[in-house]
């Protein structure tokens, strides 16, 4: 059972937004014509397509449908002072979750069955809180645009492809920064860094058949080893090349980052000072 945590009434996105996310978001907003591109690509037709895809091929969670998942989402949304989105569960062998939202429209969250099979109740709520972090920080429109470019960039004409590739690189860099922020949202809900780190560890190499043998402390030691090994100039170049086309930072970096933030004065002040 997941215990209810104190709500962070009045919580603002910038109170927990990661500095890298803030910087990358400012960079995106400076790109000429990006807002116009978003409006043209992500109109009402796209929203309708996604809605029909989910309502026809997934399970809409509610009070009378998978009520435990419904309650976990309600709790997480209340803690983050956010209206809960629709939640769909979809049959899929890849453990994943994602969020879609148009400005001013009804957002929704999707969780794959493979992820539910891998996680505990508290960890599932951490995933929900991570996705809610995207909504709290208004990430979702940029996320959807990035995903569209990943699918379409290879099919565009030469010059269009070059422009799309350049924008895609910037969007990918922003997405990696945004993930750090949303891990913080997960921690604000769970109030236990080990729960968030456990999710990351299971996503890196978990399996239902040996999940009970996984060790969080050993995973954090692995993260410190990676950090130490990447301090040389050559390692830094290789690390940048490794991450260039990734939509998420590597799991060990995310685990190390959330472990550090959980010990920070900013986090401790936030959970004591915002909630009432």
- Quick check: is 131 catalytic? yes
Specify if 1 maps to a domain: no
3-class secondary structure per residue, 75-116:
HHHHHCCCCCCEEEEECCCCCCEEEECCCCCCCEEEEEHHHH
CA atoms of 203 and 270, how far apart (whole Å): 28
Closest among 102, 190, 181 to 140, alpha carbons compared: 102
Give the residue numbers spanning the domain of 215: 13-273
CA atoms of 39 and 155, how far apart (whole Å): 21
Cα-Cα-Cα-Cα torsion 8, 258, 239, 158, nearest 10 degrees, comes to -20
Q: How many residues does the chain have?
A: 276
- As for how many domains the chain has, the answer is 1
Choose the catalytic residue: 71, 117, 123, 131: 131
Closest among 78, 118, 75, 79 to 95, alpha carbons compared: 118
Across the chain, which has 276 residues, the per-10-residue mean pLDDT values are 71 94 86 70 67 88 97 96 95 91 76 96 98 90 66 44 63 88 97 96 92 93 82 56 68 93 93 64
The answer to whether the pTM exceeds 0.85 is yes
pLDDT of residue 1: 47
The set of residues, in sequence order, having a beta carbon less than 8 Å from that of 154 and lying 6+ positions away, is 161
Specify if 6 maps to a domain: no
pLDDT of residue 157: 44
């Amino acid at each position: 059972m997941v215990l209810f945590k104190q709500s962070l009434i009045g919580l603002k996105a910038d109170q927990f937004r990661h500095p890298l996310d803030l910087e990358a978001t400012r960079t995106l907003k400076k790109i000429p014509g990006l807002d116009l591109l978003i409006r043209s690509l992500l109109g009402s037709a796209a929203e309708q397509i996604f809605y029909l895809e989910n309502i026809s091929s997934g399970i809409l969670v509610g009070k009378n449908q998978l009520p435990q998942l419904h309650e976990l989402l309600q709790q997480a949304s209340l803690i983050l002072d956010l209206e809960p989105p629709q939640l769909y569960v979809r049959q899929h062998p890849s453990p994943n979750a994602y969020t879609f939202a148009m400005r001013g429209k009804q957002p929704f969250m999707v969780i794959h069955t493979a992820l539910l099979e891998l996680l505990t109740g508290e960890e599932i709520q951490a995933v929900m809180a991570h996705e809610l972090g995207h909504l709290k920080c208004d990430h979702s429109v940029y996320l959807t645009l990035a995903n569209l470019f990943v699918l379409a960039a290879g099919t565009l004409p030469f010059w269009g492809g070059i422009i799309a590739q350049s924008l895609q690189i910037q969007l990918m860099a922003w997405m990696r920064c945004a993930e750090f922020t949303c891990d913080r949202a997960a921690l604000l809900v769970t109030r236990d860094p080990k729960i968030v780190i456990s999710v990351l560890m299971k996503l890196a190499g978990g399996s239902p058949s040996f999940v009970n043998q996984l060790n969080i402390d050993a995973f954090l030691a692995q993260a410190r080893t990676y950090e130490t090994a990447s301090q040389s100039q050559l390692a830094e170049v290789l690390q940048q090349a490794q991450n260039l086309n990734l939509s998420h930072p590597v799991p060990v970096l995310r685990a190390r980052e959330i472990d550090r933030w959980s010990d920070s004065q900013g986090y401790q002040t936030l959970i004591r000072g915002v909630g009432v």
